[in-house]
Copies of this chain bind each other. A is one copy, B any other.
């Protein structure tokens, strides 16, 4: 596919002067240290091709992108009964808002805002010690990415544990409403470690491929979820994957996607491929500024938008 490689190269060339734009997340001390002048992008297609550009081989903190993998695990564990614990609607508020939790009695609006992901962590933790649950996630991500070298960055996890007061507030609030089964410290232990997953664009694009390919990794042949479940996770990514910028992302890019404050975005072109992009500078709603621009350019040039070509 010289085409796709050419498109990636073109995007990279055009964006080069802007690399460094946006504001690196500073509320997690370890993330604040990241050099903003980095940009990488990888496309993995359902046909098994992989195209990359820029810093696509450098591992970064995937942060909230991990919520996609945790959601997959939780659905695998308890199926649709998950939706008694967390909703499926966009929140209309920022990713770490607690207002909605009070209004809706401890049920987070969706699994991609912090509160929702904490509830999902509680589900994955069930029957496990925290260390085992983290191990299960790591094995899962290595399995879907077909890459045993993926790790969790303990310094990032520790950094979040020490400063994540707002997440402690969210977890305790849900606990007060009976929407956590495990001790807050255990649940957040899992939560902070999942956010600290360290992956490159190349690894991430491959890890997300099952969502583009009817639930199975077309490279390894591994079945991960049913086609129906893959569709549904994509739907959630489209409506809720970019916090309070989800509508905007759908409007400009038109692909299911999930962003992280580490500057990464995982996007899915159903039936076509999976795209990972990374650039640490964030826009006002906390999504990678250049990452979103790059995906908009990609969608425009490929006609991959789910909303029409």
Contacts and interface: CB of A to CB of B under 8 A. Distances in A.
Given A97-B102, A168-B184, A305 B251 contact: no
Interface residues of A, number: 58
A191 to B, nearest CB: 14
Interface in A91-112: 91-93, 97-103, 109-110
A169 B165 contact: no
Contacts of A257: none
A50 interface: no
A277 interface: no
A240 B250 CA distance: 11
A90 B246 contact: yes
Interface stretch (A5-13, A37-45, A226-234): A226-234
Contacts of A300: 228
A212 interface: yes
A244 interface: yes
A16 to B, nearest CB: 25
Nearest to A97: B102
Contacts of A92: 89-93, 100, 109
Nearest to A240: B247
Residue among A175, A176, A240, A305 with the most chain B CB within 10 A?
A176
A289 interface: no
Nearest to A100: B92
Interface string A75-98: 000000000000111111100011
Given A109-B92, A308-B230, A250 B239 contact: yes
Contacts of A248: 88-89
B172 A308 contact: no
Contact of A89 (B100, B102, B244): B244
Interface in A220-275: 227-228, 230-232, 234-236, 238-240, 244-248, 250-251, 254, 256, 270-271
